[in-house]
Amino acid sequence: MSDNIAHTLTVTAQELGARTAVTEARSGQSCSFMELDLYADRYGAYLTAEGVHSGDRVMLMVRPSIDFIALAFALFRIGAPVILIDPGMGYKNLLRCIASVKPDYLVGIPAVVGLSMLFGNKFSSLKKRFCCGRFLGLSSLDIRRKREVEQGSIETYHPDETSLAAIIFTTGSTGPPKGVRFEHSIFSAQLEKIQSYYGIGRGDIDQPGFPLFALFSTALGAHAVIPDMDPTRPAQVDPQKFARSIQDYQVTYSFGSPALWQVVSRYCQENKIRCRSLKKVLMAGAPVSGDLVRQVFAIIGEDGQIHTPYGATECLPIVSMEGSEIIGETWAETKKGKGTCVGRPLPGITVKIIEANDSVLENMGECTMLGPEKRGEIIVQGDVVTRAYDGNAIQNLASKIKDGKNFWHRIGDVGYTDTKGRLWFCGRMAHRVFSRAGVMYTICCEALVNNHPEVFRSALVGIDSEDDYQTPVMIIELHKPITRNVRDIITEIKTLCADHPLLENVAHVLVHDAFPVDIRHNAKIFREKLAVWAQQQVRKR
């Protein structure tokens, strides 16, 4: 498989020709593989003529569409690194991220072009703006419908091992969003994993809840159906539209966050809808409950599969779990507070557990390895593991451990392996609560509280105390509508905590109306924000 995903698309287009590559569910527009490859050529030729060359950084902020996919492939073809930033992170984070990566060019919708002019100091590195739509007299970038550019008019860039393909920002669930460097070789390795491990490729029809996955699908020869939804707010998806496009286009494969599938599966069950064409569902971005797995099994094809890949922006996929194993074996243990089983490493991926350490670890000689059933820090090595953050030497030092000519990535999570070689996730390193009685792990403790029928989700946080330890606080968000007296529910949760050894040190139980969550998956809880809120609530008492 080529190291440039754009070349992979060209090969696929030559083989599949007139078969449908992309469909926009909202507009109904479609294009074939041959057309998609031609559009990428046209965009690439135009941008090259306008001064964009290999190595130039291009911020791409276009809504999920045929144009988004064609533009991304065009930039890969040129060899111009694509900068992808979630617009839902808020304009302050957005501007900070843009200033940190210093883009040379901007390709965006009118609102983004306007933002770049309003905050010109943050966009001072820009040489030129390209507007996808009309704005203040700027011509619209609508090259794919013009005929003057012939297919194959530009040569596809040939990357080496260090050639940068993209910079993609983390969600910022445990700190400011960080720009992750993706070399072309990383995308190539991810393509291989998606194709070989999950069996995605020609003949599949994909409905991605995360736009970037449409690039992988089309490169592999799958028909990508762009759902009618805001990808920055998956929990607010219109389930009727999402389910209808699955049925209308006979979608066979779909990736989305647990928050998205929670909404879609509930709607389908309530309305007795079964998406029988759906054979594979991937859920990632946050721990996936066994209850949700059961709900999704009930709405897809009877022979359908569910996978829950585990990883991070810096390394995905590295570990995976099948839904049948979650329901049949591990979910019962999760509910007892043993953590969330995320599965076994994919081929070519190595996962180890080291003694948790908040300091910089320069090489593996400074690490203490832990055996099965011992909780510690998760580190990973493999071909989908990114090498560095962009322009962030401090974070690179904190997250990478040298091992001869290779390196390990510190994922920032706590977990352990069992005797079957499966990895169990216990929470983020940054979310550990250091109580007087010992370390408390969020995922393990919260699972016990989540067993309460009135609790939608919970969050364990630590607040300041009078000594060096933290005071554990359990915050709960209740199912809505709330049908019982909240004080009674709090009393029951306090009793549950007092009766369980993992929770007996919880000092306060608080109710929060709606947890703050990440913008990419709407599922990762911002416990840092909740800890500040909890501190304020306790001080008021």
Cα angle, residue 494 at apex, residues 491 and 500 outer, rounded to 5°: 140
pLDDT at site 171: 78
pLDDT at site 534: 97
pLDDT at site 454: 97
pLDDT at site 135: 56
Torsion of CA 122, 123, 125, 128, to 10 degrees: -170
Its pTM stands at: 0.94
From the number of C-beta atoms within 10 Å of its C-beta (0-12, 13-18, 19+), residue 157 rates as: buried
pLDDT at site 1: 43
Q: Say how far residue 2 (Cα) sits from the centre of its chain.
A: 24
Q: Which residues of the chain have pLDDT under 50?
A: 1, 137-139
pLDDT at site 79: 97
Cβ neighbours for 268, distance < 8 A, ≥ 6 positions apart: 239, 243, 274, 275, 298, 299
pLDDT at site 232: 86
Contact at 8 Å (CB) between 278 and 254? yes
Nearest to 291 by CA among 326, 241, 248: 326
Domains contained in the chain, CATH given: 5-232 (3.40.50.12780), 308-378+396-427 (2.30.38), 432-540 (3.30.300.30)
pLDDT at site 154: 83
pLDDT at site 2: 52
